């Protein structure tokens, strides 16, 4: 295996190319721009479609068009740009065409800043665009994982005719790590039977639309999408664990927060604290059952995020009140340091929480105030 | 006397590029005419089986039900972006959008301008009837000054609602554009000229010369609250003075491809 | 601790990000786990430019560290920012050419090295960053200094190959300076 030192965004873009992406359409936005720049260089030299669109609104609709032809199509952007794309995202979901969207998340709401954040969890995982639909959401935590899961994203998108979001934060987009890219895939895909590819000779015309004027037809579509979601839940859940077997405290964290927690877990283990890490990789479908199992084994959980506790709600749904859940979250584009999470682990270890019915966010805010005071 | 049926000459039939589905357009609306012209051109050029259309949001939202070839349905105003995405991954296919004035000149202003500025090798069939038809007759960007609509009940006041936007003229100023003309459907002579323009537009694309657009003045008897025949007079007397029928940009090389 | 965190901080244009990347390449080629993460965005345009490199024998969790083990401070703001943050027992390599101050902490070891002057002497002020990372690896023995030269040789863009000798010399001069300082102390 030959690893190279790869820069996040560039590696992700190259991974998409090697997975057979034939159309990239995007608009520059920090901290995802290197993705577009890499595509600008590589796609034309490979004879594949590339457009720097006039806006994210146009970019996502170009993806929509390209996706309707059955070709692998994608865009990459960052939080405010993703908000602009929500219209097209809903249409893509309603038309049931596969598309991959990479979101390199930054601090918000609004213009916010360009620092790393996980504040788009709800927008990505719970929908964001109008109407009933269920995107698949993958949350890698390293350059290598992002490469692997962008490849997987295209496969899942095709398999389920689904939107797949790969969400990372600015840290992952900007960092360099040794990683290995997959070989270039041949573009020998079989055009799906639904594709509007302009090859009408010898077949009936095809059309793709998200319109179902008769509510009965729309309901049929909603049911199909729901059944597909349930099937995806059965088949596609991914997660990563560390030191989980005898863990009394389980940290649940995704992406960069998961990496930071991993360091804290190792340090705490050196102190003899029985703590483990559960890092969901699919945020949708969410590993509810897997976390519930851990709740039968552990004494408490700590959810660590770079947002106000968006995944905390999903963890609470998993745990069903069996054990106390504490929350640790930095916001606004601040990446936590491992020692902050280590302190939380020590605190929980020294005085294990017993109350399962308390407001974890409120308790966290009280502690956070002191932490911020200490930092200033 | 010879039997009429035995010696009958077929002079008019449904083009293969149209489906058998009757259109749901209002009586006297010229969308049906425009559909037929596009279909005849696709038949004549023999490109029905290799053409992908992009339908808009507006009265022609169901265009994909009427055309007998591959079609997709865009979000409101985004048809040129969607067509761009299709054309960039299938550059050998013929790709066209069919849009109205609300779709193209209002909510889709960004998409049409930039598709044209890039010189996307697509064809745009732009029907301008100066009103939002599907939502029931509101002001569009091309509504005439003082024209009454449901959202300009006293007539379009140019002081607060601005002036009509002449898309063909604006787009013709972009360097990458090859063919931009305005035509009208108000009488048979102009209908024939419109068809020629539609054909030239598709030929422009077929020869890889880049962006082509035919703006077509169209009627809306229902929302103009005029009879179909009065509507045609309205086009001639009211619209053409604001929207002159002309060739605004014709790439000199086009005469070589028309043959 | 098998994990070493290093921050390289300075003005934009001082080559801090590239120096960090070279360090990361060297660590990778030497068989270590490594991460490199820059400060990014508007603050890079004319303001401070810094990166953090973590080198480890094990898979790296956090790519950021509050208390770096070593800091290369190329200018005054970097000294001020990182003096309080360096881990106890850690190191600061300070570009004395641009920093006219001493640190106050006694639980970390500073090295004051006239980076710009050495680079100028070698004929190119833009290789100050190489002097500084040569010094760093001599001081913080996380990798042999020679690994930097090997990494430079393997990863330098073809059009810059001509600059290899002067870069090698800069790395060596940085390392030599530290050797001499340490020898004096003994």
pLDDT at B3 over 60: no
Question: A150 and A250 share a domain?
Answer: no
Residues 6+ apart with CB under 8 A from A94: A131, A133, A210, A221
Whether chain B has a CB inside 8 Å of the CB on A217: the answer is no
pLDDT at B218 over 90: yes
Residues 6+ apart with CB under 8 A from C181: C111
Whole-number Cα distances in Å, C21 to A71, A112, C6, C151: 36, 29, 12, 10
Q: Does B16 map to a domain?
A: no
Across chain A, which has 376 residues, the per-10-residue mean pLDDT values are 88 98 97 97 98 98 98 98 98 98 96 96 95 97 98 98 97 96 96 96 95 97 98 98 98 98 97 98 98 97 98 97 97 94 97 91 94 86
pLDDT at C149 over 70: yes
Q: What is the pLDDT of residues C9-66, one digit of tens each?
A: 999 889 999 999 999 999 999 999 999 999 875 444 456 799 999 999 999 999 999 9
Whether chain A has a CB inside 8 Å of the CB on C63: the answer is yes
Whole-number Cα distances in Å, A279 to A238, A254, A257, A265, C124: 9, 5, 9, 12, 48
Select from A32, A304, A56 the least CA-distant residue to A171.
A32
Greater pLDDT, B215 or C11: B215
Q: List chains adjacent to chain C, taking adjacency as at least 3 C-beta pairs closer than 8 Å.
A: A
Domain CATH number, residue A337: 3.40.50.920
Residue B227: CB atoms within 10 Å: 13
Q: Which residue has the tokens 């889709």?
A: B108
Parent domain of B33: 22-258
Domain CATH number, residue C43: 3.40.920.10
**The pLDDT value given to residue A113:** 93
pLDDT at C112 over 80: yes
Question: A89 and A229 share a domain?
Answer: yes
**The pLDDT value given to residue C47:** 65
Do residues B224 and B233 make contact, with C-beta atoms less than 8 angstroms apart?
no
Partner residues linked to A278 by β-bridges: A241, A252
- What is the percentage of chain C residues whose pLDDT exceeds 90? 88
Closest Cα in chain B to A198: B50
Q: Does B17 map to a domain?
A: no
Q: What is the pLDDT of residues A147-178, one digit of tens each?
A: 999 999 999 999 999 999 999 999 999 999 99
Q: Mean pLDDT score of chain B, rounded to an integer?
A: 96
CB-closest option in A58, A87, A196 to B111? A58
Parent domain of C113: 3-185
- pTM of the shown model: 0.95
HSE-CB of C2 using CA atoms within 13 angstroms: 13
Which ipTM was obtained for this model? 0.94
Tokens of A282: 């699919």
Domain end position, chosen among A217, A235, A253: A235
Question: A65 and A175 share a domain?
Answer: yes
Select from B223, B58, B243, B240 the least CA-distant residue to B147.
B223
- Is A260 in contact with C38 (Cβ distance < 8 A)? no
Partner residues linked to A21 by β-bridges: A72
Q: What is the pLDDT of residues C155-186, one digit of tens each?
A: 988 999 999 999 999 999 999 999 999 998 76
Q: How many domains does chain A fold into?
A: 2
Residues 6+ apart with CB under 8 A from A153: A19, A100, A136, A138, A164, A166
Q: What is the pLDDT of residues A245-260, one digit of tens each?
A: 999 999 999 999 999 9
Question: A81 and A150 share a domain?
Answer: yes
Partner residues linked to C6 by β-bridges: C53, C70
**The pLDDT value given to residue C45:** 46
Partner residues linked to A327 by β-bridges: A303
- Please state the length of chain A: 376
**The pLDDT value given to residue C43:** 45
| Sheet with B179-184, side-by-side order of all strands | A207-208, B70-73, B51-55, B94-100, B123-128, B212-217, B179-184, B246-250
Q: Does B46 map to a domain?
A: yes
Question: A231 and A274 share a domain?
Answer: no
Mutate to test the interface with B, among A62, A70, A95, A189 (most CBs of B within 10 A): A62
Q: How many domains does chain B fold into?
A: 1
Do residues A156 and A99 make contact, with C-beta atoms less than 8 angstroms apart?
no
Q: Is B49 helix (H, G, I), strand (E, B) or coil?
A: helix
Angle between helices A143-160 and A215-235 (to 10 degrees): 140
Residue A190: in which H helix or E strand, if any?
none
A123 CA: distance to closest CA in chain B (Å):
21
DSSP C126: G
Domain CATH number, residue B105: 3.40.50.970
Q: How many domains does chain C fold into?
A: 1
Q: Does B8 map to a domain?
A: no
- Is A66 in contact with B72 (Cβ distance < 8 A)? no
Parent domain of A355: 239-375
Q: Does B223 map to a domain?
A: yes
């Amino acid at each position: 295996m030959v690893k190279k030192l790869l820069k996040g965004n560039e590696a992700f873009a190259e991974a998409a190319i090697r997975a057979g992406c034939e159309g990239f359409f995007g608009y520059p936005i920090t901290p995802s721009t290197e993705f577009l720049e890499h595509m600008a260089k590589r796609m034309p030299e490979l004879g594949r479609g590339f457009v720097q669109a006039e806006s994210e609104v146009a970019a996502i609709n170009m993806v929509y068009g390209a996706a309707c032809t059955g070709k692998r199509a994608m865009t990459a952007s960052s939080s405010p740009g993703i908000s602009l794309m929500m219209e097209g995202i809903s249409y893509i979901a309603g038309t049931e065409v596969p598309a991959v969207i990479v979101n390199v998340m930054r601090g918000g709401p609004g213009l916010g800043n360009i620092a790393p954040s996980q504040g788009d969890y709800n927008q990505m995982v719970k929908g964001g665009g109008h109407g009933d639909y269920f995107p698949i959401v993958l949350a890698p935590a390293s350059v290598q994982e992002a490469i692997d899961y962008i490849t997987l994203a295209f496969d899942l998108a095709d398999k389920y005719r689904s939107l797949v979001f790969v969400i990372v934060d600015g840290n992952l987009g900007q960092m360099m790590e040794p990683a290995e890219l997959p070989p270039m895939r041949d573009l020998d895909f079989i055009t799906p039977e639904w594709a509007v590819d302009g090859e009408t000779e010898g077949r009936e015309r095809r059309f793709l639309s998200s319109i179902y004027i008769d509510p009965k037809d729309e309901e049929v579509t909603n049911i199909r999408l729901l059944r597909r979601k349930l099937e995806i839940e059965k088949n596609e859940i991914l997660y990563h664990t560390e030191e989980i077997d005898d863990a009394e405290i389980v940290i649940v964290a995704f992406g960069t927060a998961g990496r930071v927690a991993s360091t804290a877990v190792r340090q705490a283990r050196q102190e003899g604290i029985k703590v483990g890490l559960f890092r969901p990789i699919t945020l949708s479908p969410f590993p509810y059952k897997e976390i519930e199992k851990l709740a039968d084994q552990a004494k408490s959980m700590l959810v660590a995020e770079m947002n106000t506790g968006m995944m905390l709600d999903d963890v609470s749904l998993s745990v069903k009140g069996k054990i106390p859940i504490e929350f640790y979250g930095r916001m606004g584009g601040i990446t936590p340091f491992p020692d902050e999470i280590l302190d939380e682990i020590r605190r929980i270890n020294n005085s294990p929480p017993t109350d399962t019915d308390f407001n974890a966010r409120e308790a966290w805010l009280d502690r956070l105030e002191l932490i911020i005071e200490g930092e200033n | 006397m010879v039997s009429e049926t035995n010696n009958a000459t077929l002079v008019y039939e449904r083009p293969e590029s149209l489906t058998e589905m009757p259109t749901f357009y209002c009586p006297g609306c010229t969308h049906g005419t425009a559909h037929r012209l596009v279909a005849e051109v696709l038949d004549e050029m023999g490109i029905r089986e290799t053409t992908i259309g992009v339908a808009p949001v507006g009265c022609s939202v169901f265009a994909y039900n009427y055309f007998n070839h591959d079609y997709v349905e865009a979000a409101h105003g985004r048809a040129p972006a969607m067509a761009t995405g299709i054309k960039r991954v299938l550059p050998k296919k013929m790709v066209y959008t069919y849009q109205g004035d609300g779709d193209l000149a209002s909510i889709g202003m960004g998409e049409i301008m930039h598709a044209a500025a890039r010189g996307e090798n697509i064809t745009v069939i732009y029907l301008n009837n100066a009103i939002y038809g599907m939502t029931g007759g509101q002001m569009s960007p091309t509504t005439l000054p003082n024209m009454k609509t449901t959202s300009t009940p006293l007539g379009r006041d140019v002081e607060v609602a601005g002036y009509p936007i002449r898309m063909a003229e604006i787009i013709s100023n972009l360097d990458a554009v090859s063919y931009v003309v305005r035509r009208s459907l108000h009488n048979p002579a102009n209908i024939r000229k419109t068809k020629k323009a539609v054909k030239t537009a598709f030929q422009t694309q077929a020869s890889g010369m880049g962006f082509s657009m035919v703006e077509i003045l169209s009627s809306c008897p229902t929302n103009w609250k005029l009879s179909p025949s009065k509507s045609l007079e309205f086009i001639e007397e009211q619209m053409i003075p604001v929207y002159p029928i002309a060739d605004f940009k014709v790439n000199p090389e086009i005469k070589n491809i028309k043959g | 601790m098998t994990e070493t965190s290093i921050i390289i901080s300075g003005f934009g244009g001082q080559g801090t990000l590239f120096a960090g990347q070279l360090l990361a390449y060297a660590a990778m080629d030497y068989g270590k786990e490594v991460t490199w993460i820059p400060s990014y965005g508007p603050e890079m345009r004319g303001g401070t430019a810094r990166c953090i490199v973590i080198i480890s024998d094990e898979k790296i969790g956090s790519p950021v560290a509050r208390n770096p083990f070593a800091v290369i401070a190329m200018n005054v703001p970097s000294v001020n920012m990182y003096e309080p943050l360096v881990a106890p027992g850690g190191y600061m390599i300070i570009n004395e050419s641009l920093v006219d101050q001493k640190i106050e902490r006694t639980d970390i070891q500073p090295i004051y090295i006239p980076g710009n002057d050495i680079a100028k002497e070698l004929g190119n002020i833009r290789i100050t960053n190489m002097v500084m990372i040569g010094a760093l690896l001599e001081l913080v023995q996380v990798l042999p200094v020679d690994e930097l030269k090997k990494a430079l040789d393997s990863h330098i863009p073809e059009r810059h190959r001509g600059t290899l000798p002067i870069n090698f010399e800069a790395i060596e001069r940085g390392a030599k300076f530290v050797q001499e300082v340490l020898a004096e102390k003994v």
